[in-house]
Amino acid sequence: MKENIMPAIRLTLVCLVFFCGIYTLIVLGLAQVTPGKGGGETINENGKKYYANVGQKFTEDQYFWSRPSAVDYNAAGAAGSNKGPSNPDYLKTVQQRIDTFLVHNPGIQKEDIPSDLVTASGSGLDPHISVQAARIQIKRIAAIRGINESRVQQLVIQSIEKPLLGLLGTERINVLKLNIALDQLK
């Protein structure tokens, strides 16, 4: 037993120094080269500060709607729902979201609604929607704002973020950035 105690103590000390010191400094150094220097990407608009990497609630018809949030966009309580896809309460919530979307977007068929507009993300704070989710809202936004649909379509195309390194993930659109650009069209 004595021959095992000293190696275990040495390994504990090495791990303590590495994970509490060296690893922390490496992560801190990498964060310094990211937008916001590890503090998140912030956008100041009309005297308000927004975090572009945290979902914002947009439900007004003149804006592109965000992905629903299981935590009502509260970053302090980031979490998804623990209800499975066969849970009656979950299905009722999704159906209510579908019904609301159809009321606000006449002419759209239920089967054409992208899933990210009616289901919450795993964190409940996803700031992005799919390109399809943005495109399906163009007609409503153009009509309410009195803007040509092709101009809104162009704005959506300009807002598309490509996958990381061209490989990881799918094309997506940051809803906050898109809605700010939409407001700046005036």
Structurally, the chain folds into a number of domains equal to 1
pLDDT at residue number 73: 77
pLDDT at residue number 80: 67
Decide if 17 is inside a domain: no
DSSP letters along 125-163, please? ---EE-HHHHHTTHHHHHHHHT--HHHHHHHHHHTEEPP
Range of the domain at 168: 52-183
Give the residue carrying structure tokens 């289901």.
Answer: 119
* CA distance from start to end of the chain: 76
C-alpha to C-alpha distance for 43 and 27, rounded to whole angstroms = 24
pLDDT at residue number 184: 87
Nearest CA-CA partner of 87 in 74, 64, 100, 70 = 70
Mean pLDDT per block of 10 residues along the chain (186 residues) reads: 86 93 89 77 79 82 89 72 81 92 90 90 84 94 92 92 82 92 85
CA atoms within 13 A on the CB side of 69: 23
Decide if 30 is inside a domain: no
Decide if 147 is inside a domain: yes
Decide if 121 is inside a domain: yes
Most distant pair of Cα atoms in the chain: their distance: 81
Decide if 167 is inside a domain: yes
Decide if 60 is inside a domain: yes
Decide if 156 is inside a domain: yes
Decide if 21 is inside a domain: no
59, 118 Cβ separation under 8 angstroms: no
